[in-house]
Amino acid sequence: MMKKIFVFLLILTGLAWMISCGTTKERIQIVRDAEDTLAGQNVTGKSYIARTVAFYNQENLFDTIDDPKINDDDFTPNGRDAWTSERYKRKINHLAQVIAGIGRRETKAPPVIVGLAEVENRAVIEDLIHDPNLDKYHYGIVHYDSPDHRGIDVALIYVKSVFQPTHTQTYPLKIYDDEGHRIYTRDVLLVTGLMDGEQIHIIVNHWPSRRGGEARSRPLRMAAARLDMRIIDSIQREEPHAKIIMMGDLNDDPVSPSVKEVLRAKGRKADVQPGGLYAAMEHFYRAGIGTLAYRDSWNLFDQIFLSYPLIEGTLKNKKDYSTFQLWKAGIYNKQFLTNRKGAFKGYPFRTYAGGQYLGGYSDHFPVYVILVKER
């Protein structure tokens, strides 16, 4: 036993030296590896359940069928993007491959819960979960049609043997342009359920875009943030110690006014108070790591927030994992998901760019958190 402890001290000493000498990006990767190494050892004699919860923007996951009720003409075989069955099937296979890999290195399993954005309808999600990469995990679906002018929705998929929904609901985001006309966008999805018998509330978002400029469109995202806060407040009134995971493509960064002023989310766990939110992706953003790139600049629009009860067991040197607690957060940015050459080397390898079919995955990297508790 003493020999094992000595070996771990040597590992930690070496990691401390490397962390102090490396670049910011290298430091984050070293910390990830350190967590994985230590978590893989049964130092305390205890075993843990580890569950991955993820979010992934699918980049226009449309089927090939023209729906007269929505603006999907481009995504048809004769449309501008020549969206054929072959291209559709390839995209489904690609996205399923990605989802199956999120968090697998740490948990040896795919995500238990995945929030999705930019899906056209339930049918495309059915195709996604029945792809050979995912079919054996028996995912269920929560999906509602939104009034979005592009015809895209948010949704949630879940491993039915681990998570059982008990309540689902959508909340419309009612926002208006300068002339008082309603801007039809994505609803907010709330799914409450039991994960390994423990109640968790999941809120899935896709906030309004920055079309027209960040400053001009900012009030729309501030309104979206206020709607999320109303949902969270309503949950916490009924359940003060509620475990809430809010996720989505916010079209805003972790330091944007919508996050800092409305959500009041904190980037340091020690700063989070009961009733507050922890911004699990903020430290990546401050290190210059993002989930999408535009004009040689990275943004981190894909975010996950956790309520205080999901981190309190690890605060002030506590190690209470009797219920689910945050272990780590990550951006799933494997090399195969990035452009390998050219002007956009390192950017997400997307399906389309500038009207040209590239055959990639998505213009966003997925994000995830891993929750653990003692068995």
The ranges of the chain with pLDDT < 50 are 1-44
Residue 18: predicted pLDDT: 33
pLDDT digits (tens, 9 = 90+) for 237-277: 999 999 999 999 999 999 999 999 999 999 999 999 999 99
Report whether 235 contacts 201 (CB < 8 A).
yes
Residue 45: predicted pLDDT: 61
In angstroms, rounded to a whole number, what is the distance separating the alpha carbons of residues 209 and 225?
A: 13
Tell me which fold the domain 46-374 belongs to.
Deoxyribonuclease I; Chain A (3.60.10)
Residue 354: predicted pLDDT: 85
Domain coordinates in residue numbering, the chain: 1-45, 46-374
Nearest to 53 by CA among 236, 166, 193, 187: 193
Residue 344: predicted pLDDT: 86
Q: What is the pTM of this model?
A: 0.89
Residue 3: predicted pLDDT: 41
Report whether 259 contacts 225 (CB < 8 A).
yes
